[in-house]
Amino acid sequence: MPQWQIDYWPLAGILVVVIGFAMRFNPLLVVAVAAILTGLLGGMDLVAVVSLLGKGFNDNRFVTVVYVVLPVIGLLERFGLQQRARGLIESMRGATVGRLLVGYLAFRQGLAALGLVSVAGHPQTVRPLLAPMAEAAARKENPDITDDDLEEVKAMAAATDNVGVFFGEDIFIAIGSILLIQGVLRGEGIELAPIHLSLWAIPTAVCAFAIHALRIRLFARRLRRKARSAAA
């Protein structure tokens, strides 16, 4: 077998990931198949590949802690958590999509900067609380809002959580991403203390907040424009 095939065949796993995501297959299944294929093409036997996958899952089992919260969230939703969230927004006179999402962005980014990245998130906050509240605010401004616009509201709520935690967590000196960045830079011969990385993350976080807050405002303005056009 030619040398280039020996060196590059394991990269076929990347192609599997690209095709799998493009075909909208289950992401967990796609990644698992790609990992197993990469290991087999790299010369490992099937038992060794599965053992390595199991070890990686066990070493990072803290990632699955969120599943402990899901039954509680399911019970709360069953007993009307989303309805209560919608009712709260509907009872507030000044509640709008823009104000709600910008306020949550500040809340999420502030907590992440303090290292409290697990206090909020998609499963425990966005789906049961933020998205229904944003949806209720949108319906309040435009009772005839379309389903497509409501889906965009939910997507913006999820994006707001992502931006807040992603750009806020690097301000906290003891977060894993800071240590990862330090390790990569050290491998390139660049020595930086974690405190320096944290300090330089502050202007990035401020810019991210300003940019995404502007995106939220423009999005809310577009919704209001549609509401006025529907009422005319």
Q: Is the pLDDT of residue 119 over 90?
A: no
Query: Higher pLDDT residue, 117 or 106?
Result: 106
Q: What is the DSSP letter of 232?
A: -
Average pLDDT over residues 33-44: 85
The pair of structure tokens assigned to 227 is 């509401």
Cβ-contact 102, 115 below 8 angstroms: no
Cβ-contact 13, 31 below 8 angstroms: no
Among 101, 130, 138, residue whose Cα is nearest residue 216: 101
Q: Is the pLDDT of residue 109 over 90?
A: yes
Average pLDDT over residues 134-163: 91
Output the pLDDT for position 78.
67
Among 11, 84, 82, residue whose Cα is nearest residue 41: 11
The CB density around residue 111, as the number of other CB atoms within 10 Å, is: 19
Cβ-contact 13, 38 below 8 angstroms: yes
Query: Higher pLDDT residue, 47 or 2?
Result: 47
Using the structure block, give the residue that is written with the tokens 């319906």: 139
Q: Is the pLDDT of residue 222 over 90?
A: yes
| Alpha carbon distance 220, 108 (integer Å) | 20
3-state secondary structure of 18: helix
Output the pLDDT for position 161.
95
Output the pLDDT for position 3.
47
Q: What is the DSSP string of 115-151?
A: T-TTSS-IIIIIIIIIHHHHHHHHHHH-TT--HHHHH
Among 37, 11, 33, residue whose Cα is nearest residue 21: 33
Instruction: Provide, for the chain, the percentages of residues in helix, strand and coil under a 3-state DSSP scheme, each rounded to the nearest 5.
Output: 80, 0, 20
Give the predicted TM-score (pTM) of the model.
0.65
Cβ-contact 119, 168 below 8 angstroms: no
Query: Higher pLDDT residue, 69 or 30?
Result: 30
User: What is the pLDDT confidence band of residue 141, given thresholds at 50, 70 and 90?
Assistant: confident
Q: Is the pLDDT of residue 150 over 80?
A: yes
Output the pLDDT for position 21.
83
7-16, 81-90, 175-184: least confidently modelled range: 81-90
Average pLDDT over residues 66-91: 64
What mean pLDDT is reported for the chain? Answer: 82
